[in-house]
Structure 1
């Protein structure tokens, strides 16, 4: 990690030239590699639950695997940002890919010899979550070195599509592959990480330069990203707003399942519900590059907030799983553009020397409520029933939409925007 690298030998790295993203070879290689990796991760995420259920028969243990992964990822976010700023980002990402491939590969080998244990599943899930947390800030910070500064928001918008495509296709594909063989999904995910690692070696531009390395001694340690976030009025307001929205959307999935069951939906129909919702997010991700080029961040954030707040109460009267899925698709449509506008602002505003820590701080704060979201939803359903819970979440979304509309912190000046 600390040896001689390409980045160290290029202390005066030239700004990437402005060219169409579709003709930027380094961006395409990075995008394709991470699209494959994201799909593999989505495939194995559902397979961890299925495998745990298959060998233990315990829903509680299956939930524990998911919880351990989420808590591990949250705990590793801030240190991972420091790692991304102080060491060779390319090597960090390759090491993370190889580590994740090894963790899943060990599970595959154990499955082949019939020695899979719950402890092994738990360890593999935790390692994958920890290494994914190390990979993410390094990749986000590296984007600034492969794309021209004025194209960063557009690049962030295009990155949204790969995540939503993985969310749409991955779980269903994971279930199908698990039906073929319990270890097949994990083998596919391990191979996807190896492909990602190979792709990273093909990127020609350095992903970090010497000036970043020498200046970071004066930038503080883990807290530097949090301090920058708190000083930046727009980012502070946007991330706190997004934390609230993410909490609602992560919670309301369980509510949708309960509503679908009340209307007699089959397991297949319930699964299709989430596919329809994910399709809305994917369509929004495909539209995101045009939307971020045309509208201000505040406009996109407010529009996303009000659309979600308007359609969510309709869940209380929806009478089929497919209608519930359609409501979710509408609610999610503007999410990718709103998220890309925030990420693009951060990439163009934060000092390159602390990009990794800023990215980690944003994801840490934005996802800080995720571990408690499903438990909160379950408690509310148990206490006040499903429909009142829908109305409670609708009220939260209305409050968040109002905040996005009136908060002065979200009013980014025109000269702070960076268009393609």
Structure 2
């Protein structure tokens, strides 16, 4: 059985975990994912532009986006169970190769087909990218939780958030530049970035998982095992409910800013700057998380993050200037980044290695289901009720979950697990 990086102890007592910068497998995984994430952000920016350019229809681009998200609702439960069954390293290599093939097939679809057949093929590619990305994300989350000791998980999750935030800032600009040169160039760049990740995976030595039991049960029984574990662990279950609502709140924040910008006739350049300031807030929050965890208790940090939401979010109902909008958007993004890093780190540290895929699958199923339904409800509320009533509705939910966080004994006593 492979030696787990968390099991580093000498005869005289436990040793300090090796620094993440000296953890070879973690660095290979992290750097490979960084290159791949930048390529993915280029595709995510360019693909809707490509669909609109071919069809002259925003609705067609929206359908492609929905098809890419659909697997997260349909397949999260079985995907989580299958990821827990299969060898993680092999699954990551296969998923990376399949993603590379899917992205590379976009230029081929443009060259080899035309008319309705071309559009149908692009829709199929969008669904395929979503399905493979789901498996890839689940196995990558579980693998990172294995190669990193529990005490270093917040730092690892924060570093991953820094990569995601940086790609969110740089990716659209890079994708726009590449698309202006050639509409195929963003997808070629993404395919090449997958090659970098593929190379890094081949150099990882560890299996990135504990030894698995040999017996196999029916897939539904294994899904039920994950559901049972989640239901019996009140803190993790509560974190899921809180995360679902906070993610919906972030979606509401984006829609509110967009609605206010349109109502106040704020130039699109300033709207872009407001969104960019939010990205800076995300990066700052991720950078603050590791030192915060060393000084502030887990439960207290979550309560402080939700308090920021409660006090800052209502300002959307009253502000109209770009400067204040940017400040509010950045404050909420910072609080959300801190909340996400702490919650994800806690979940990865608590969930048994053999259940990481199933629990993460359950998380994605509920999060994406809430976002799918909630986003439509928010749009209808903004259209028929307006900004201030929508802010009031979302704020009422924030008050409820913040009150729950303060009153729940399990949440107040929750501490981050140590090695």
Give the TM-score, by structure 1 length.
0.90
The 2-side partners of 1:340 and 1:144 are apart by 13
**Post-superposition offset of 1:113:** 5.7
Relative to 1, partners in 2 of residues 1:288 and 1:15: Cα closer, same or farther, differing over 3 Å?
Answer: closer
1:26-66: CA deviation from partner (whole Å, max 9, x where unpaired): 11111111122222222211222111111111111111111
Maintained 8 Å contact 2:256/2:316: no
Q: Are residue 78 (structure 1) and residue 69 (structure 2) matched?
A: no
Relative to 1, partners in 2 of residues 1:199 and 1:148: Cα closer, same or farther, differing over 3 Å?
Answer: same
Q: Are residue 154 (structure 1) and residue 155 (structure 2) matched?
A: yes
**Post-superposition offset of 1:213:** 3.5
**Post-superposition offset of 1:232:** 0.5
Relative to 1, partners in 2 of residues 1:223 and 1:250: Cα closer, same or farther, differing over 3 Å?
Answer: farther
Please name the residue that 1:226 is paired with: 227
The 2-side partners of 1:163 and 1:375 are apart by 26
**Post-superposition offset of 1:96:** 0.9
Maintained 8 Å contact 2:100/2:194: yes
Relative to 1, partners in 2 of residues 1:389 and 1:19: Cα closer, same or farther, differing over 3 Å?
Answer: same
Please name the residue that 2:410 is paired with: 409
**Post-superposition offset of 1:118:** 2.0
**Post-superposition offset of 1:16:** 5.2
The 2-side partners of 1:272 and 1:397 are apart by 27
Structure 1 residue runs of 5 or longer lacking an equivalent are 1-9
The 2-side partners of 1:77 and 1:412 are apart by 31
**Post-superposition offset of 1:22:** 1.6
Q: Are residue 28 (structure 1) and residue 8 (structure 2) matched?
A: no
**Post-superposition offset of 1:266:** 2.0
Relative to 1, partners in 2 of residues 1:290 and 1:216: Cα closer, same or farther, differing over 3 Å?
Answer: farther
Please name the residue that 1:347 is paired with: 348
Taking only aligned residues, the RMSD between alpha carbons, in angstroms, comes to 2.3
Relative to 1, partners in 2 of residues 1:363 and 1:298: Cα closer, same or farther, differing over 3 Å?
Answer: farther
The 1-side partners of 2:287 and 2:316 are apart by 26
**Post-superposition offset of 1:397:** 2.1
Relative to 1, partners in 2 of residues 1:270 and 1:113: Cα closer, same or farther, differing over 3 Å?
Answer: farther
Matches within 5 A, 1:84-123: 84-112=83-111, 115=114, 117-123=118-124
Please name the residue that 2:14 is paired with: none
Q: Secondary structure at the match of 2:180?
A: helix
My pick for the range that moved more, 70-79 or 57-66, is 70-79
Relative to 1, partners in 2 of residues 1:298 and 1:215: Cα closer, same or farther, differing over 3 Å?
Answer: farther
The 2-side partners of 1:217 and 1:303 are apart by 43
My pick for the range that moved more, 279-288 or 309-318, is 309-318
Please name the residue that 2:40 is paired with: 41
Relative to 1, partners in 2 of residues 1:19 and 1:69: Cα closer, same or farther, differing over 3 Å?
Answer: same
The 1-side partners of 2:367 and 2:233 are apart by 15
Q: Secondary structure at the match of 2:75?
A: helix
Please name the residue that 1:263 is paired with: 264
The 2-side partners of 1:36 and 1:412 are apart by 39
Maintained 8 Å contact 2:179/2:185: yes
Please name the residue that 1:246 is paired with: 247
**Post-superposition offset of 1:285:** 0.9
Relative to 1, partners in 2 of residues 1:408 and 1:208: Cα closer, same or farther, differing over 3 Å?
Answer: same
Please name the residue that 2:51 is paired with: 52
1:217-247: CA deviation from partner (whole Å, max 9, x where unpaired): 5994123222211111100111101101111
Maintained 8 Å contact 1:85/1:216: no
**Post-superposition offset of 1:196:** 1.3
Maintained 8 Å contact 1:100/1:193: yes
Maintained 8 Å contact 1:154/1:292: no
Please name the residue that 2:389 is paired with: 388
The 1-side partners of 2:87 and 2:375 are apart by 37
Maintained 8 Å contact 1:309/1:394: yes
The 2-side partners of 1:377 and 1:175 are apart by 29
Q: Are residue 338 (structure 1) and residue 347 (structure 2) matched?
A: no
Relative to 1, partners in 2 of residues 1:347 and 1:195: Cα closer, same or farther, differing over 3 Å?
Answer: same
Relative to 1, partners in 2 of residues 1:413 and 1:62: Cα closer, same or farther, differing over 3 Å?
Answer: closer
Relative to 1, partners in 2 of residues 1:215 and 1:342: Cα closer, same or farther, differing over 3 Å?
Answer: farther
1:280-315: CA deviation from partner (whole Å, max 9, x where unpaired): 011111111112232222222221111122111212
**Post-superposition offset of 1:11:** 6.2
1:82-139: CA deviation from partner (whole Å, max 9, x where unpaired): 1211111111111111111111101022335674822122111111111111011211
What is the aligned residue count?
408
Maintained 8 Å contact 1:251/1:376: no
Please name the residue that 2:214 is paired with: 214
The 1-side partners of 2:404 and 2:138 are apart by 28
Relative to 1, partners in 2 of residues 1:322 and 1:52: Cα closer, same or farther, differing over 3 Å?
Answer: farther
Please name the residue that 2:13 is paired with: none
Maintained 8 Å contact 2:5/2:148: no
**Post-superposition offset of 1:67:** 1.4
